[in-house]
Amino acid sequence: MPQASSISVLVVDDQLTMRALIRNALQQIGFKDIREAPDGEEALKNLLAKPANLVISDFNMPKMDGLALLRAVRSHPPIRQTAFVMLTGRADRELVQRAVQFGVNNYCVKPFTVQGLREKIEQVFGPLT
Amino acid sequence: MMQFSQNDDPERAIKVHVTQGESHVTTDPQVVMTTVLGSCIAACIRDPQAGVGGMNHFLLPEGDGRGGGDAVRYGAYAMELLINDLLKRGARRERLEAKIFGGAKLFDGLSDVGASNSAFAERFLRDEGIPIVSSSTGGVSARRVEFWPTSGRVRQRLVAVDNAPQDVRRPAPAPMPAASSGDVDLF
């Protein structure tokens, strides 16, 4: 079983509050290596400079949205294997379908609980310790 | 401009009632958004330059409104819905300004949910860099709020506690006369 503390995470959201909430939830789950980016463009630069094991990304963001970031990640060989979890709203069924087409690993509907986020991540990595 | 006199004409206004859990955005200068608040919060956010504005209406679930609890996640999502809709309709984040209402403590002996709701809204907007240009929060009275999203004008009326419909869904109010007593143009 993978250790949460050994998985590096990049949190991507244009709202500082949401980034802080996701970070807080990840810390409760046991993640320690957590970085943040305010939009897809910054996230891509960040990943290319230093790959992460997991990206947790919002969809609606300026410059480059979550779907464009997902496509960019999947088209860059050095980081194309990065696990990618998209955060979506309740009414975003079409977005989820498109994200699946582009290779998203999972999605998490906001507002999420810590346990809900944990389950979504565990569906990708297996049970976390 | 004619636009403003039309807005002030209740016969021509298009009223949109925003109930708990909802969020509405418009660019239509004839729309006036209305809501009734007890301990709930309504955030009225607009981009004056783009002429787009909207209102949400939320109540944090039980929690202290601080830290990373479920209550804050819920509130942050309510704010995000409104802000994302504004951005989709042409608003720019750096031009957004907010007015917040509600957060009253209607009944003695209960925890002050209203205070934690307004504290959350203030902290969220501060953290996101969205200035609060005016607010009316706290107190012991419910509020009936009308918000003209494109002009930013707000009219608030305090509602007696005995008559306060505490954060429950209710039908849209009937059109009000142009100058009913008790109405106050605040902002």
Q: How far is CA A63 from the centre of its chain?
A: 17
- pLDDT reported for residue B141: 92
Residues 6+ apart with CB under 8 A from A99: A66, A67, A70, A86, A88, A107
CB pairs under 8 A between A and B: 46
Q: Dmax over Cα atoms in chain A, in whole Å?
A: 37
What value does the mean pLDDT take over residues A42-61? 96
What is the pLDDT confidence band of residue B111, given thresholds at 50, 70 and 90? confident
What is the pLDDT confidence band of residue B61, given thresholds at 50, 70 and 90? low
**CA dihedral sign of residues B119, B71, A57, A11:** positive
Domain map (residue ranges) of chain B: 6-159
HEC per residue, A39-77: CHHHHHHHHHHCCCCEEEECCCCCCCCHHHHHHHHHHCH
The position carrying tokens 């205070």 is: B115
Q: Is A16 close to B87, i.e. CB distance below 8 A?
A: no
Complex-level ipTM beyond the 0.90 threshold: no
- pLDDT reported for residue A92: 77
- pLDDT reported for residue B9: 59
Query: Which position has the higher pLDDT, A69 or B7?
Result: A69
Given a cut of 80, is residue B114 above it in pLDDT?
A: yes
Which phi and psi angles does B27 have, rounded to 5°? Answer: -115, 5
Options B13, B36, B40, B154, the catalytic residue: B40
- Rounded to a whole number of angstroms, the distance from the CA of A78 to the nearest CA of chain B is 32
What is the pLDDT confidence band of residue B176, given thresholds at 50, 70 and 90? very low
Given a cut of 60, is residue A32 above it in pLDDT?
A: yes
Given a cut of 50, is residue A101 above it in pLDDT?
A: yes
What value does the mean pLDDT take over residues B143-163? 89
CA–CA gap between residue B159 and residue B144 (Å, rounded): 7
Which phi and psi angles does A10 have, rounded to 5°? Answer: -115, 120
Given a cut of 60, is residue B75 above it in pLDDT?
A: yes
Given a cut of 90, is residue A111 above it in pLDDT?
A: no
CA–CA gap between residue B91 and residue B52 (Å, rounded): 6
Q: pTM value?
A: 0.79
Q: Percent of chain B beyond pLDDT 90?
A: 59
Q: Say whether B44 is catalytic.
A: no
Q: Is A60 close to B88, i.e. CB distance below 8 A?
A: yes
**CA dihedral sign of residues A83, A87, A90, A95:** negative
CATH code of the region B6-159: 3.30.1330.200
Q: Tell whether B63 lies on the interface with A, counting CB pairs under 8 A.
A: no
Q: Which amino acid is at B98?
A: A
- Residues from chain A that touch B25, judged by Cβ atoms under 8 A, are none
Given a cut of 50, is residue B182 above it in pLDDT?
A: no
CA–CA gap between residue B72 and residue B78 (Å, rounded): 10
- pLDDT reported for residue A13: 95
- pLDDT reported for residue B163: 52
Q: Tell whether B161 lies on the interface with A, counting CB pairs under 8 A.
A: no
